[in-house]
């Protein structure tokens, strides 16, 4: 093989697999904490007994963590004298949840293998376990991430996709992280289980984009149902199912809902209702073939999980996911 051809092969390899794939691997804890996947799964199973939506909440934590400076556990940090928490950023405020379960997982992990398993890896393992326990696919989670020592409030406010955001903007946010349109559709398919609060979609029910009318892409009978659940000027924290057919099961019904104009969030329905968008064909493919959705979802989760991990000596292994090592308690930041 000529040197020029070898260079082309190397460029293609790096483009396809990324440098982070060489640093993360599925057997990272094989010797240091061999039971970590079982530990995580056990805590989630217990939590599911009283909170059937916790699996969807945990996968969302992993998503919202990875989209801001990579998968480094920064979302989990509370306010401190030097840190402004990402939890208070617009896309996360009064929305992300499941931190207590993450703390329970971390406690169990520390009891079994003190100082070994990072909070960032706990989120990645919890995401896979949550999908699997809900009837979705399983995969070998790549591990070896370390935890950040800081958070990025401004980044969380800017980079996370919004439920009321248009397809063009969301596609651009994915592309900025080297995630494709297929990744966008596949990862959106995680909305096949879980709940959403009224405030995340009420703009579609009464005064969409300042028109004084509902979103015309909403199925009329579904609109009537949602208006009963979320009356105008009502309680914005009331929750309803993201998937009205199989709300607690991980399957491909989400994509059938989009075809029937029964996507709950604007960001969901635009995947199918945006004329000429490349997402439409992908939605139809996943709607017809659950196996293809599952395969793409697994690959997209791996792709997302490889975003800028801290490895080697960078970062730390937090003993408490809520604060960096050596930090004390903190009252909070001013709301001004």
- Return the bridge partners of 197, or none: 239
In whole angstroms, what is the distance from residue 66 CA to residue 176 CA? Answer: 13
Q: Which of 64, 84, 195, 318 is catalytic?
A: 64
> Do the annotations mark residue 289 as ligand-binding?
no
62 catalytic, yes or no? no
In whole angstroms, what is the distance from residue 89 CA to residue 102 CA? Answer: 20
Give 179-304's CATH code, choosing from 1.10.420.10, 3.60.21.10, 3.40.640.10, 2.170.270.10: 1.10.420.10
CATH topology for 35-159 is Peroxidase; domain 1 (1.10.520)
In whole angstroms, what is the distance from residue 224 CA to residue 246 CA? Answer: 20
Look at the pTM and tell me if it is higher than 0.85. Answer: yes
- What would the pLDDT profile of 277-299 be if each residue is shown by its tens digit? 999 999 999 999 999 999 999 99
- What would the pLDDT profile of 121-180 be if each residue is shown by its tens digit? 999 999 999 999 999 999 999 999 999 999 999 999 999 999 999 999 999 999 999 999
Q: Is 115 a residue whose pLDDT tops 60? A: yes
DSSP conformation letters of 226-288:
HHHHS-TTS-TT-EEESSSSSTTS-SSHHHHHHHTT--SSHHHHHHHHSTT-THHHHHHHHHH
pLDDT over 90 percentage in the chain: 90
What is the pLDDT at residue 328? Answer: 60
- What would the pLDDT profile of 311-328 be if each residue is shown by its tens digit? 999 999 999 999 999 876
What is the pLDDT at residue 329? Answer: 54
What is the pLDDT at residue 1? Answer: 42
In whole angstroms, what is the distance from residue 53 CA to residue 307 CA? Answer: 26
What is the pLDDT at residue 327? Answer: 73
> Do the annotations mark residue 192 as ligand-binding?
yes
Domain ranges for the chain, please list them: 35-159, 179-304
User: Phi-psi bin for 231: left (phi > 0), alpha (psi -120 to 50), beta?
Assistant: beta
Average pLDDT in the chain: 92
> Do the annotations mark residue 311 as ligand-binding?
no
> Do the annotations mark residue 118 as ligand-binding?
no
What is the pLDDT at residue 107? Answer: 98
Averaged pLDDT for residues 13-21: 38
What is the pLDDT at residue 23? Answer: 85
- What would the pLDDT profile of 258-276 be if each residue is shown by its tens digit? 999 999 999 999 999 999 9
- Assess whether the region 35-159 and the region 179-304 belong to the same CATH fold: no
Q: Is 227 a residue whose pLDDT tops 70? A: yes
pLDDT category of residue 228 using cuts at 50, 70 and 90: very high
């Amino acid at each position: 093989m000529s040197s020029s051809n070898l260079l082309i092969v190397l460029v293609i390899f790096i483009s396809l697999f990324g440098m982070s794939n060489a640093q993360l691997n599925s057997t990272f804890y094989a010797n240091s904490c061999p039971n970590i996947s079982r530990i995580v799964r056990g805590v989630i199973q217990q939590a599911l007994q009283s909170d059937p939506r916790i699996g969807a909440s945990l996968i969302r934590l992993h998503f919202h963590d990875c989209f801001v400076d990579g998968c480094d556990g920064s979302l989990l940090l509370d306010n401190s004298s030097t840190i402004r928490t990402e939890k208070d950023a617009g896309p996360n405020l009064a929305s992300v949840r499941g931190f207590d379960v993450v703390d329970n997982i971390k406690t169990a992990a520390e009891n079994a293998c003190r100082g070994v398993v990072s909070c960032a890896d706990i989120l990645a393992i919890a995401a896979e376990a949550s999908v699997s326990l809900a009837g979705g696919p399983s995969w070998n989670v790549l591990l070896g991430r370390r935890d950040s020592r800081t958070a990025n409030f401004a980044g969380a406010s800017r980079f996370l996709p919004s439920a009321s955001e248009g397809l063009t903007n969301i596609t651009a946010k994915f592309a900025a992280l080297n995630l494709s349109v297929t990744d966008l559709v596949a990862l959106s398919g995680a909305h096949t289980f879980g709940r959403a609060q009224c405030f995340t979609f009420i703009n579609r029910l009464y005064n969409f984009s300042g028109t004084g009318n509902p979103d015309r892409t909403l199925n009329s009978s579904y609109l009537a149902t949602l208006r009963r659940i979320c009356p105008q000027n009502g309680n914005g924290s009331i929750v309803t199912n993201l998937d009205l057919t199989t709300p607690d099961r991980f399957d491909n019904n989400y994509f059938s809902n989009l075809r029937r104009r029964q996507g709950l969030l604007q960001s969901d329905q635009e995947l199918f209702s945006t004329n000429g968008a490349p997402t439409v064909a992908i939605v139809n493919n996943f709607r017809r073939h659950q196996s293809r959705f599952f395969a793409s979802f697994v690959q997209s989760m791996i792709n997302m999980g490889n975003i800028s991990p801290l490895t080697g000596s960078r970062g730390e292994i937090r003993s408490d996911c809520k604060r960096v090592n050596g930090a004390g308690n903190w009252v909070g930041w001013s709301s001004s």
